[in-house]
């Protein structure tokens, strides 16, 4: 897949999420924009999936541990054809399945998340099953950096290496922020690389908003008997200047002015830089 | 009852009281788990940076650290979303707080269905069931700003472990400054001769509305504010379960294990009344705005009044 196409998709999806949050008045804006590039790389290039057959037994599994960044996930799943664009419009509405966290009543969602610190353990179970049943599918999970404070993460990290789960790929959206402020102020989660390495993991560190780095990292995970971690250094709120690197944008909804300014900016970029980008 | 007053959020009042108490007593500590914003505790944090401890997104650690501090003579208030505080950390609550008898005040914020459109992971509709079964743990739910104030003043000086559940709504006033708060002693908010409706916390408002609807049809309902879920006011329950044939309870909780269950356990020991429990059914709650969800489950004043009429007339 051409990197330029993926970058185009990322821009398109950022615009979509921005609009979705504005229209519905709810959403985790900064968290979505932070990991948009990672989800695009996964869903448009890396994951072996078939939207027409969401339960295909050999599909790769994606479990979004930072479940709150759900608006980007819903948008991507709709765009991939797991469900209709019309259904996407029910996000945030009364009695919808497209709620504020992943919900596995919806095609394409493996597991319900939302309570942080669950995804890695679940991924260990899913990856372990592949080992037990001799399946080739890979299991991916996306975590937050603030989330790393949950003790359950480290229980899972230990188990993943104990069971030699080199079919498991953890990704940390390392944007340096959580709700209250920076990780540094709230709970020091520095040296993640050394921490996971000490737990026996292969670790790659990349620019998590750089499409080719993400794709390369995800495609070059090692098959050496150890689980794989990609620490993706990202900018929370990436792509909308007012929201970038600001903790208060974790789940802030844009004002009309902010909404319109960013939409104009998205349109300019989509029309300009990507005019020749193939669709 | 002062009507049509805008009222206040319990979290803001809690913050005010904790500021006053922390000023007077340096042993008061607040612990948060990346939750001070949703807990309305930012003013406290700014005023007393030395009396707030941030543990990050780690609710088990939150309760364990609080228990350690309490065992060392401090007075910690551990404040975290009710869903995580009472589920993720429940063993720390059982062993480190209840069993070891440490003076930890567990404050569950955004309780019940407050996070109505965020899914079951964020709903705390089983918190009363699980905390109620743990010994040595008082359980409270304030219904308005005045009661919240009195409750937190009590908590700041009490030596007993407790769980307090608050929500996110602006609470209409039920009382005024002169309200008395006696733990374990329920208040009668409105007298009535035909039946009694028991509410607690944010649902008290619904109980009052239901009573008003009933009044229009000539049914006079007593409304009881069961602010303390544990220890339950057995005496009052014994009284009403003798006085009336049929009584009702309303809660923002599963119909299993909460306020209604607590009342029924007592009524079954010798009352003559039947009890109908209004609450959330045994399923993951649907998504929507909080009041839409309440309406869907029949938990509005009008819908409850209609149900009550049906039952009383059958
Ligand atoms: C167990 C648990 N505790 C608290 C929360 C509330 N919460 C939702 S998102 C969030 C901050 C997450 O920060 P981080 O992991 O850094 O994710 P980011 O949005 O920055 O990618 C918190 C505390 C939760 N969802 N689950
Ligand atoms: Mg973060």
CATH number, residue B214: 3.40.50.920
Has residue B30 been placed in a domain? yes
- Are B59 and B112 in a shared domain? yes
Q: Which ligand is nearest to the CA of B62?
A: 1
Give how far B92 is from chain A: nearest CA, Å: 13
Q: Which domains does chain A carry? A: 3-273 (3.40.50.970)
Angle at CA A171, nearest 5°, toward A57 and A24?
85
| pLDDT at residue B1 in the model | 44
CB-count burial class (<10 Å; 0-12, 13-18, 19+) for B295: middle
Q: Fill in the DSSP letter of residue A104.
A: T
The answer to whether B9 contacts chain A (CB < 8 Å) is no
| pLDDT at residue A274 in the model | 64
Distance CA B1, CA A98 (A): 40
- Are B202 and B160 in a shared domain? no
Nearest residue of A to residue B34 by CA position? A180
Has residue B147 been placed in a domain? yes
- Are B206 and B142 in a shared domain? no
The position carrying tokens 């709709």 is A78
Has residue B105 been placed in a domain? yes
| pLDDT at residue A278 in the model | 45
DSSP-derived pairing of the beta strands A228-233 and A202-207: parallel
- Are B155 and B83 in a shared domain? yes
Which of A26, A28, A31 is the best mutation target for the ligand 1 pocket, counting ligand atoms within 8 Å of the beta carbon and taking the most?
A: A31
Phi first, then psi: give them for residue A241, nearest 5 degrees: -50, -45
Which residues numbered 157-216 in A keep a CB inside 8 Å of some CB on B? Answer: 178-180, 185-187, 189
- Are B208 and B268 in a shared domain? yes
- Are B140 and B238 in a shared domain? no
* Residue B24: pLDDT over 80: yes
- Ligand 1 atom with the smallest distance to the CA of A150 is 1
The answer to whether B37 contacts chain A (CB < 8 Å) is yes
- Number of structural domains (chain B) is 2
| pLDDT at residue B6 in the model | 77
- Are B116 and B140 in a shared domain? yes
Which of B172, B207, B237 is the last residue before a domain boundary? B172
Which residues numbered 101-130 in A keep a CB inside 8 Å of some CB on B? Answer: 101, 103, 112-117
Mean pLDDT of B294-299: 98
- Are B118 and B238 in a shared domain? no
Mean pLDDT of B79-89: 98
Q: Which residues line ligand 1 (CB under 6 A)?
A: A 31, 34, 66, 68, 114-117, 144-147, 173, 175, 177-179, 236, 250; B 34, 57, 59, 84, 88
Give percent of chain B above pLDDT 90. Answer: 97
Has residue B178 been placed in a domain? no
Range of the domain at B250: 187-313
* Residue B157: pLDDT over 60: yes
Has residue B86 been placed in a domain? yes
Contact A204, A222 (CB under 8 A): no
Has residue B209 been placed in a domain? yes
CATH of the domain at B30: 3.40.50.970
- Are B220 and B76 in a shared domain? no
- Ligand 1 atom with the smallest distance to the CA of A118 is 1
Q: Is the predicted ipTM greater than 0.85, yes or no?
A: yes
Distance CA A273, CA B133 (A): 62
| pLDDT at residue A272 in the model | 72
Which residues, including other chains, have CB under 8 Å from residue B146's CB and lie 6 or more apart? Answer: B173, B174, B175, B176, B177, B179
Mean pLDDT of B181-189: 98
- Are B167 and B191 in a shared domain? no
| pLDDT at residue B237 in the model | 98
The position carrying tokens 């505790």 is B41
- Are B108 and B73 in a shared domain? yes
- Are B168 and B202 in a shared domain? no
Question: Which residue stretches of chain A are H helix?
Answer: 3-24, 29-41, 70-80, 85-88, 119-132, 151-162, 183-186, 192-198, 211-219, 256-271
| pLDDT at residue A275 in the model | 55
Has residue B140 been placed in a domain? yes
Which residues of chain A fall short of a pLDDT of 50? 276-279
Has residue B305 been placed in a domain? yes
> For residue B5, what pLDDT band results from cuts at 50, 70 and 90?
low
Distance CA B24, CA B203 (A): 33
The answer to whether A26 contacts chain B (CB < 8 Å) is yes
Which of B111, B138, B172 is the last residue before a domain boundary? B172
Average pLDDT, chain B: 97
Distance CA B212, CA B193 (A): 14
- Ligand 1 atom with the smallest distance to the CA of A114 is 25
């Amino acid at each position: 897949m051409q990197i330029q196409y993926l970058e185009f998709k990322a821009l398109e999806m950022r615009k979509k999420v921005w609009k979705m949050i504005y229209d519905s008045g709810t959403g985790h804006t900064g968290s979505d924009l932070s990991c948009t590039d990672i989800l695009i790389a996964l869903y448009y290039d890396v994951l072996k999936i078939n939207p027409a057959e969401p339960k295909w037994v050999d599909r790769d599994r994606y479990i979004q541990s930072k479940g709150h960044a759900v608006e980007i996930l819903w948008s991507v799943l709709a765009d991939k054809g797991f469900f209709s664009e019309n259904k996407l419009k029910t996000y945030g509405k009364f009695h919808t399945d497209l709620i504020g966290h992943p919900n596995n009543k919806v095609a394409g969602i493996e597991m319900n998340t939302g309570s942080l610190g669950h995804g890695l353990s679940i991924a260990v179970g899913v990856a372990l099953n592949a080992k037990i049943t001799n399946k080739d599918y890979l299991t991916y999970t996306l975590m937050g950096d603030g989330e790393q404070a949950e003790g359950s993460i480290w229980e899972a990290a230990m188990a993943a290496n104990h069971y030699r789960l080199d079919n498991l790929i953890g990704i940390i959206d390392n944007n340096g922020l959580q709700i209250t402020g920076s990780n540094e102020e709230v709970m020091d989660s520095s040296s993640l690389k050394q921490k996971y390495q000490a737990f026996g993991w292969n670790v790659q560190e990349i620019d998590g908003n750089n499409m080719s780095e993400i794709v390369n990292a995800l495609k070059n995970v090692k098959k050496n008997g150890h689980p794989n971690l990609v620490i993706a250094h990202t900018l929370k709120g990436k792509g909308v200047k007012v929201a970038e690197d600001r903790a208060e944008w974790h789940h802030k909804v844009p004002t009309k002015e902010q909404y319109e300014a960013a939409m104009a900016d998205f349109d300019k970029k989509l029309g300009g830089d990507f005019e020749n980008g193939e669709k | 009852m002062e009507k049509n007053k805008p009222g206040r959020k319990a979290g803001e009042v809690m913050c005010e009281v904790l500021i006053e108490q922390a000023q007077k007593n340096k042993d008061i500590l607040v612990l948060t788990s990346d939750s001070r914003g949703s807990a309305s505790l930012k003013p406290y944090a700014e005023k007393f940076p030395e009396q707030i401890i941030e543990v990050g997104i780690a609710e088990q650690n939150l309760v364990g650290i609080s228990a350690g501090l309490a065992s060392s003579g401090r007075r910690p208030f551990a404040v975290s979303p009710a869903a995580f505080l009472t589920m993720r950390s429940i063993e720390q609550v059982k062993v480190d707080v209840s069993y070891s008898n440490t003076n930890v005040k567990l404050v569950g914020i955004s309780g019940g269905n407050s996070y109505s459109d965020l899914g079951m992971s964020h709903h705390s509709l089983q918190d009363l069931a699980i905390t109620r079964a743990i010994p040595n743990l008082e359980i409270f739910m304030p219904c308005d700003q005045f009661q919240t104030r009195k409750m937190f003043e009590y908590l700041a000086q009490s030596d007993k472990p407790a769980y307090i559940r608050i929500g996110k709504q602006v609470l209409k006033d039920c009382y005024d400054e002169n309200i008395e708060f006696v733990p374990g002693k329920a208040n009668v908010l409105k007298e009535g001769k035909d039946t009694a409706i028991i509410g607690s916390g944010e649902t008290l408002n619904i109980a009052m509305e239901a009573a008003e609807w009933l009044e229009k049809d000539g049914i006079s309902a007593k409304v009881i504010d069961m602010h303390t879920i544990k220890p339950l006011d057995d005496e009052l329950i014994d009284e009403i379960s003798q006085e009336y044939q049929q009584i009702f309870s309303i809660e923002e909780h599963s119909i299993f294990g909460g306020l209604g269950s607590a009342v029924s356990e007592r009524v079954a020991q010798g009352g003559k009344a039947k009890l109908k429990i209004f609450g959330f059914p045994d399923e993951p709650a649907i998504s929507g705005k909080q009041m839409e969800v309440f309406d869907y489950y029949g938990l509005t004043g009008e819908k409850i009044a209609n149900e009550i009429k049906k039952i009383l007339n059958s």
